[in-house]
């Protein structure tokens, strides 16, 4: 397993709609392993393939935040939201591609998602709580959407300027 570099906003690859996975092969299994490793190392609770510059519809998540509990890694291939609750919830979201910036985002409190597992079998589940927020945030990445796109233009520009500054600093080393 390899830790892959995470793209930092603004980056044109984070704004693109990604392509569905056509076949689950060794490359894809390696990508899923690397994404989980990269997410745990960050640390984060979710990661989408475009964040590691792979323009395919793959996300990984583990919202089990209790350090004592058994990890619950999930790999979702071609995930699709097939139902959303009318009830909403607000969560102070962050993103590994927008480090150290957080903002409240309102989303449906519960969603039902269909996807393919690594074994190629169709799966379906309902998510609530932090899992619901996370799965919606990650699926947005597959459509080139970031959580700051849910905010007003001023807040979004402020965060984007901070990220441009951070990237200049990183480039200087």
Tell the smallest beta-carbon distance from residue 121 to Zn ion (Å). 27
Annotated ligand binding at 141? The verdict is: yes
Which helix (H) or strand (E) segment is 170 a member of? helix 153-172
C-alpha torsion angle, residues 67, 71, 76, 81 (rounded to 10): -50
Q: How far apart are CA 156 and CA 103, in angstroms?
A: 10
Catalytic residues: 138
Give the SS3 label for residue 135.
Answer: helix
Residue closer to Zn ion, measured from CB, 24 or 76: 76
Q: Which residues bind Zn ion (CB under 5 A)?
A: 95
Cβ proximity to Zn ion: between 77 and 95 the closer is: 95
- Alpha carbons 163 and 87: distance in angstroms, whole number: 33
Q: Is 95 annotated as a binding residue?
A: yes
CB 25 → Zn ion: shortest distance, Å? 26
Q: Which is nearer to Zn ion, 24 or 134 (CB)?
A: 134
> Is 137 labelled as part of a ligand binding site?
yes
Instruction: Provide the annotated binding site.
Output: 95, 137, 141
């Amino acid at each position: 397993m390899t830790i892959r570099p995470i793209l930092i906003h603004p980056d044109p690859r984070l704004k693109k709609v990604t392509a569905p996975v056509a076949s689950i092969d060794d490359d894809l299994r390696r990508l899923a392993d690397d994404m989980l490793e990269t997410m745990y190392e960050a640390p984060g609770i979710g990661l989408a393939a475009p964040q590691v510059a792979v323009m395919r519809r793959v996300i990984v998540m583990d919202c089990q935040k209790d350090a004592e509990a058994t990890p619950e890694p999930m790999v979702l291939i071609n995930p699709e939201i097939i139902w959303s609750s009318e009830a909403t919830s607000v969560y102070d979201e962050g993103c590994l591609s927008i480090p150290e910036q957080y903002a409240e985002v309102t989303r449906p409190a519960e969603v039902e998602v269909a996807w393919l597992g690594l074994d190629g079998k169709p799966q379906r589940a309902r998510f609530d709580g932090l899992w619901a927020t996370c799965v919606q945030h990650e699926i947005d990445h597959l459509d080139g959407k970031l959580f700051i796109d849910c905010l007003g233009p001023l807040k979004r520009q402020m965060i984007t300027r901070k990220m441009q500054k951070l990237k200049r600093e990183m480039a200087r080393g």
